């Protein structure tokens, strides 16, 4: 198996604080990899480095063995690394369907005269419907984006990301802030995306137990440092992880 995304000695320092410290991180093609770690472990900062929202103080990032460390986030998306954002790219006053359709269309780069009816673009509409089905939002397709519940908004974010058709999906805590009732359905959505089988998924999760069944591999960060990497079973049995994560230092109740 080829690594699709890799970091070597990746480090970022904010003033005197090293948020990501010399991290070597590897994700293989079509792998489902989770990054776990307690509060302040550096998970989101690592994602921002991978997505190009932050530039490292030192170290390198490779996509398919190409050094992408100095590439902008836009160029990284074009290469195939998509990162989820909380509703920043969603238009609140248009429908769920239109939001996803616009994203699909921009990806397909279809130009059309404004007076033509959208429904002529069957391919775009079909892909939009497919995505909405995958993220379990078909029944909300005619709702305005601003009318969605918190959980539905997270699904729409995933839909927008899928529309980009990137090979790598970086999902930053998709269950964050959700009610307990909403969590299973977002896990179903992630399961659906995984089942499609054509993506590499990297997911940050604070609640370790949620993602153990989904993940092929898990990386544990602690205090900005790489702590462990392995299968979910190996991670569960890893004594260092247990000490760091389960030994009272980790507040599992936080969403």
Tokens 């279809």 found at: 110
Q: Which of 9, 39, 72, 242 is in the footprint of ligand ATP by CB under 6 A?
A: 39
Q: Interface with ligand ATP includes 83 (CB under 6 A)?
A: no
Shorter beta-carbon distance to ligand ATP: residue 15 or 113:
15
> Which stretches of 110-168 are DSSP H helices?
122-134, 150-163
Stretch in the footprint of ligand ATP (CB under 6 A) among 13-21, 92-100, 127-135, 240-248: 13-21
Shorter beta-carbon distance to ligand ATP: residue 104 or 169:
169
Least spacing, CB of residue 192 vs ligand ATP, in Å: 25
Q: Interface with ligand ATP includes 238 (CB under 6 A)?
A: no
Q: How many residues bind ligand ATP (CB under 6 A)?
A: 12
51 burial level (CB within 10 Å; 0-12, 13-18, 19+): buried
Tokens 């078909």 found at: 138
Tokens 């160029």 found at: 75
8 Cβ partners below 8 Å, 6+ apart? 24, 59, 60, 62
Which of 232, 139, 233, 231 has its CA nearest to residue 185? 139
CB 33 within 8 A of CB 215: yes
Q: Which of 3, 40, 73, 194 is in the footprint of ligand ATP by CB under 6 A?
A: 40
Q: Interface with ligand ATP includes 43 (CB under 6 A)?
A: yes
Rama region for 223: left / alpha / beta (φ>0; ψ in -120 to 50; rest): left
Which residues within the stretch 152-211 sit at the binding site for ligand ATP (CB under 6 A)?
Answer: 206
Least spacing, CB of residue 194 vs ligand ATP, in Å: 22
> Which stretches of 38-175 are DSSP H helices?
43-51, 73-79, 96-108, 122-134, 150-163
Least spacing, CB of residue 17 vs ligand ATP, in Å: 6
Least spacing, CB of residue 223 vs ligand ATP, in Å: 9
Q: Which of 31, 45, 166, 200 is in the footprint of ligand ATP by CB under 6 A?
A: 45
- Residues in the site for ligand ATP, rule: CB under 6 A? 14, 17, 19, 37, 39-45, 206
């Amino acid at each position: 198996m080829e690594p699709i995304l890799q970091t070597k000695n990746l480090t970022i320092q904010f003033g005197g604080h090293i948020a990501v410290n010399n991290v070597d991180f590897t994700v293989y093609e079509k792998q489902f990899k989770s990054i776990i770690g307690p509060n302040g472990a550096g998970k989101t900062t690592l994602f921002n480095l991978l997505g190009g929202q932050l530039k490292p103080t030192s170290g390198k990032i490779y996509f398919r063995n190409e050094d992408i460390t100095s590439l902008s986030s836009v160029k990284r998306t074009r290469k195939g690394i998509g990162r989820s954002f909380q509703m920043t790219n969603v238009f609140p006053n248009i429908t769920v369907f239109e939001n996803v359709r616009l994203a699909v269309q921009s990806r397909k780069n279809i130009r059309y005269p404004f007076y033509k009816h959208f429904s002529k673009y069957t391919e775009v509409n079909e892909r939009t419907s497919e995505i909405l089905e995958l993220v379990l939002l078909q029944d909300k397709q005619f709702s305005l984006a601003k009318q969605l519940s918190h959980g539905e908004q997270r699904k729409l974010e995933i839909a927008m990301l899928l529309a980009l058709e990137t090979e790598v999906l970086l999902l930053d805590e998709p269950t964050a802030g959700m009610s307990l009732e909403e969590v299973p359905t977002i896990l179903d959505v992630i399961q659906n995306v995984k089942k499609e089988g054509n993506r590499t998924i990297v997911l940050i999760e604070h609640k370790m137990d949620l993602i153990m069944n989904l993940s092929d591999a898990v990386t544990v960060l602690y205090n900005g440092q790489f702590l462990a990497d392995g299968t979910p079973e190996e991670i569960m049995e890893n004594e260092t992880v247990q000490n760091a994560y389960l030994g009272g230092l980790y507040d599992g109740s936080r969403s």
